[in-house]
Structure 1
Amino acid sequence: MTAQSQSLRDWLLSERPQSRRQARLGRAYVIWRQFSANRLAVFGLVIILALIVVAALANLIATHDPYIGNLTHARLLAPGTDGYLLGTDDQGRDIFSRLVFGSRITLLVVVLVAIIAAPIGLVVGTVSGYAGGWVDAVLMRITDIFLAFPKLVLALALVAALGPGIENAILAIAVTSWPPYARIARAETLTFRRSDYIAAVKLMGASPARIVFLHIVPLCLSSLIVRVTLDMAGIILTAAGLGFLGLGAQPPMPEWGAMIADGRRFILDQWWVAAMPGFAILIVSLGFNLLGDGLRDALDPKEAGQ
Structure 2
Amino acid sequence: MSAAETSLKPYSREWLLSDRPTSRKQARFGRAYIVWRRFAENRLALVGLAIILVLIFVAALAGVLAPHNPVVGDLRNSRLLPLGSPGYLLGTDDQGRDILSRLIYGSRLTLLVVVLVAIIAAPIGLIVGTVSGYAGGWVDAVLMRITDIFLAFPKLVLALALVAALGPGIENAILAIAVTSWPPYARIARAETMTFRNSEFISAVKLMGASPFRIVLRHVMPLCVSSLIVRVTLDMAGIILTAAGLGFLGLGAQPPLPEWGAMIASGRRFILDQWWVAAMPGFAILIVSLGFNLLGDGLRDALDPKEAGQ
TM-score, length of structure 1 as denominator length: 0.98
CA distance in 2, matches of 1:124, 1:47: 32
CA distance in 2, matches of 1:135, 1:253: 44
CA distance in 2, matches of 1:95, 1:117: 32
2:115 maps to a residue whose letter is V
1:281 maps to a residue whose letter is I
Give the alignment partner of residue 102 of structure 2, picking from 98, 101, 105: 98
Give the match for residue 63 of structure 1.
67
1:206 maps to a residue whose letter is A
Give the match for residue 221 of structure 1.
225
Give the alignment partner of residue 285 of structure 2, picking from 275, 278, 281: 281
Question: Does residue 1:175 correspond to 2:175, yes or no?
Answer: no
Give the alignment partner of residue 72 of structure 1, picking from 57, 76, 95: 76
SS of 1:164's partner is coil
Give the match for residue 154 of structure 2.
150
Please list the CA deviations of residues 120-146 of structure 1 after superposition, one character each: whole Å capped at 9, or x if unmatched. Answer: 000000000000000000000000000
Question: Does residue 1:248 correspond to 2:235, yes or no?
Answer: no
Give the match for residue 88 of structure 1.
92
Give the alignment partner of residue 115 of structure 2, picking from 111, 117, 124: 111
CA distance in 1, matches of 2:94, 2:220: 54
1:12 maps to a residue whose letter is L
Matches within 5 A, 1:1-306: 8-306=12-310
SS of 2:96's partner is coil
CA distance in 2, matches of 1:5, 1:139: 50
1:304, CA displacement in angstroms? 1.9
Quick one: structure 1 residues 5 and 244, their matched pair in 2 at CA, closer, same or farther if it must change by over 3 Å?
Answer: farther
1:5, CA displacement in angstroms? 9.5
Number of residue pairs aligned between Structure 1 and Structure 2: 304
CA distance in 1, matches of 2:47, 2:309: 23
Structure 1 segments of 4 or more deviating over 6 A?
3-7
1:43, CA displacement in angstroms? 0.4
CA distance in 2, matches of 1:18, 1:270: 64
Please list the CA deviations of residues 155-192 of structure 1 after superposition, one character each: whole Å capped at 9, or x if unmatched. Answer: 00000000000000000000000000000000000001
Tell me, yes or no, if the aligned pair for 2:7 and 2:15 is still in contact at 8 Å.
Answer: no
Please list the CA deviations of residues 14-72 of structure 1 after superposition, one character each: whole Å capped at 9, or x if unmatched. Answer: 00000000000000000000000000000000000000000000000000000000010
1:267 maps to a residue whose letter is I
CA distance in 2, matches of 1:245, 1:189: 39
CA distance in 2, matches of 1:267, 1:277: 13
1:305, CA displacement in angstroms? 3.7
SS of 1:253's partner is coil
Cα RMSD (Å): 1.2
1:6, CA displacement in angstroms? 11
CA distance in 1, matches of 2:275, 2:269: 9
2:48 maps to a residue whose letter is G
CA distance in 2, matches of 1:212, 1:177: 22
Please list the CA deviations of residues 172-222 of structure 1 after superposition, one character each: whole Å capped at 9, or x if unmatched. Answer: 000000000000000000001011110100000000000001100000000
Please list the CA deviations of residues 84-118 of structure 1 after superposition, one character each: whole Å capped at 9, or x if unmatched. Answer: 01000000000000000000000000000000000
1:62 maps to a residue whose letter is A
CA distance in 2, matches of 1:47, 1:172: 27
